[in-house]
Each structure stands twice: as structure tokens, then as C-alpha cells.
Structure 1
């Protein structure tokens, strides 16, 4: 704790860290470490282990087009909005915005097929999922594992980034399936969230991503978007970044 306080005191107000990657054990991974004072507002990502980190780096370095090296093109986006058709306020909030974005395609108010969800992950550079959970009812984790996924995924549903712990086993969840598929980065929620507040955060994050400019780090933009929530230390703390600190073009 002494080292943490000293480190915090050495960071000038308004200074920007390089991205911090957290590797957390089963007892710590469910806590929102990204929102403690020393890290709040800074770019923070999570990885399950050093092995996963090394594997992701090797995979990205070996690809002709790398999200880590070349950045994510936000014009290559597929969205899945209100797939169960029971989030009318969320649909109203985002439908016009999504449909007006150049290069975006997707579905609104209807459930995606396995083929459509698969194509969203393999043929696009960004997936925006605004529905319940992580979308596993449309494309199960066992199917995701065998994909060659190039999309960075924003999974805005309740507990979409939650990892389960059973006995002495390592935490598991949908994030591992995305990692096995080679997904460079996933944003998910650690717990259940209210639709209005998470919609505010999602809108702020997407607006930041879509602004012209080079080298916009997703983890940095997410950290800055937390403050728009009316419950910044409840709903605002829920979204976390799993994977590499990718940037947007």
C-alpha cells in the first residue's frame, strides 16, 4: 500500500499514464480496480494471465492487419441493437445515430442469426452489441472459440464481462472465448447495469471514438466516459476493457 500511495503522489494532476495491464486472480478480478483513485481516468486493460498476454501479442504481430499496430477503423462497424426487441428506450437512443454513421451496418429490433453474428466478428473491425448479456444466446462461446475474430467488441449488456468462479477453478466467462478466437479487445460490464445510465456512457464513448483524430486509445476514452453516468461509482465502474490497449484511427 505504501508503494501505491507513493506512486499516486508522483503522478501530477492531469498527467496521462501509459496503458496499465492488470492480471488479477480469482479473488480480485470481480472488483473495479480501474476506478480506484490512482487509476481512475487512466487507460487500464485486463488480461487473464501472462500467457494470454504473450499469445495475443504474438498473434497481433503476425497478422497482416493488426488492431494493435494499425488501429481500429470505426467506419468498419457492425451493430446489434435491441435484438430481443424489449429495450425500446435504448433503441430510440441509438437507432438514428447508428443508421447515420458512414460505413456502419447492422440489425435493430431483431435477433441476429449465427451467420450474421459470426460475420460481425470476422468481417468487421468493431462490433457494438446493445442487448442483454454478452449475446451468447445468438452465438455460443463454443462457436466463438473457433473463429478468426478481427473485431474489437463492445458488449454493453448486463454482466457481459463478468467472470464466474467455481471452487478452485480459474475464473471463466465469455471473455475467454473471445480471446481464444483472437479478438484483440473486448469491453464488458462486471455486473448488471441500468439501461439509461449505461446508454449515456456508451453514447459518450462512441462519440469520442468517432471524432476525427489519430491514436485514440479505447481504454483512455472509456475511462473518460465514466463521469457522464449519474451513478459514476456504480454504473460508471461496471465497464472494463479486456485485452490489448487498441487505438482507433
Structure 2
């Protein structure tokens, strides 16, 4: 942390530019990234009229375990890839999940639809409610009407609600990535600068005392370029 603060103080101009770019990207994300809309519905499966006769014809007084099994079967059929693709071809493109409600002990089928467009989310939810009844009719096509179980809507979302959490969570993740990348860049730049200061500029070759200042020592340059005995001396040193 201290190293990062030192890099920010030393490279405050670069840090300011990176912070401005991060904030600009965050603002663009708020505008560009779509919101998530969600619609829900719960449907209860009811016994047939023949079975309900033992309760005076009231199907809400007769909930056999077979109804829960029926609800699970219908939910699995609606989650089948062929059903999903069929709904998409009809324009119901929102994502959805259908299954037995985990918080209910009875035969309640839970439908949850999510999408970026509230209209598509709402129409997909209505299409799934209709599809539940269609699946029941298909599964019981060979039975008399009095022997068929039915499904009734317990509750349904009139208008899909905006869910803020997915977008806020995504923006938070993008912000964390941007800040991490900016910190890494600052530390890299500072490390390179520290390395350059530690090594320093290359030392100049020693000059001959016989060469006046401001003149080029051609003999020294010639001697340095010659391979051979490192103990080689100038000719005038032997004189």
C-alpha cells in the first residue's frame, strides 16, 4: 500500500488521467449496460373433479402427492431445449426457469422470467402460463374432462420489475478491474523509473592527462577498440 501511495504521489499526473478514464468508463457503463427486468408467477395444480368429489367437489381440499409429480413433469417439459427454442421462434426470447416452488409443500409450479426488455419479459411470462395449460392438455389428451387435473394461477406479476442488483454488481466488478489495472500500471512505471535511477548513466572513459580539455583523445579511442593485452600502455609512457 505504501508503495502504491508513493507511486501515486510521484506520478500524480498519470494517476489523474487513469482516474478520469476510469470514471468516464464507469459513467458509460451506467448508460450502455441494460437493466434487468424480472417477472414471476406461481401456479397451483388441482385435482380432477372426480377426485374432488370426496371433498364435496372442492379441489383445494384434496392435494395428493401425485399433483406435485405432475407439476414437476410439466416444469421439466417447459425447460426442455425444444420447448425453449419453440418459444424463441415465436418471439418469447427472455430467459426463464420453471420448476416446483422450493418454499412450498404443495403442488405449486414457480415461473421466473428475466430479460433486458420489460415488454419481452412480460410477454414471455404470459406465454409460459399458457404453455403450462397446454402441456397439461397434451399429457391428458386421452382422458375425460372430469378426470383431468388443472392448473390455476395463484399470483402473477402485472409488470416486470426492474432488478438493480445484477447491473450494480457488474459495474462494481468493472470498477474493481479498472482500478486494479491502473494501480498495476502506476507501479510498473514507478518501478522502471526507480531502476533507471539505480543504474545511473554510464561512466565516461578515462581521459589521458596529456589531452587538453575539449579535444578528442583519439589514441584512447584507438586503444579501447583494439583487442589484446589489457595491460597495453601508451607509447609515450615507455619513452
Using structure 2 for the length normalisation, give the TM-score: 0.20
Using CA pairs under 8 Å that are at least 6 residues apart, name the structure with larger relative contact order, 1 or 2.
Answer: 2
Larger Rg: 2
